[in-house]
Amino acid sequence: MKIDILKGLLLSGSIILFSGCTNNQANPNSGAQTGAVVGALAGSAIGYNSGSYHHRGGNAAAGALVGAVVGAGIGNAVDNNNQPPQQTGGWQ
């Protein structure tokens, strides 16, 4: 029962986070945001599935924190390598 609740919370949380990071305008920091979200999700899954059975929640939280920091760092590095957007004079 607890596993099903945790899976539902993770799924709904990821849907909310991913939908909040999408828009139709250019965002120069989108790599850092996407990296943090993907890193947190991956880190929480890895943390939940590793370690002892009794400490899975703490492992998932720690994994999410580490994954978010590492993912944001990688995304920030990608953002710094991207060139700034150019005004092309299209629809205003």
In angstroms, the CA 39 to CA 64 distance is: 7
Length of the chain: 92
Distance in angstroms (rounded) separating the CA atoms of residues 25 and 45: 31
- Determine the pLDDT at residue 70: 93
At 31 the pLDDT is 83
Residue, of 89 and 58, whose pLDDT is higher? 58
Query: Would the CA dihedral through 54, 42, 65, 11 be positive or negative?
Result: negative
Each residue's pLDDT tens digit, 27-85: 666 788 888 888 888 888 888 888 777 788 888 888 889 999 999 899 889 888 877 76
Q: Are 30 and 72 in contact (CB under 8 A)?
A: no
Q: Convert 47-67 into a string of H (helix), E (strand) and C (coil).
A: HHHCCCHHHHHHHHHHHHHHH
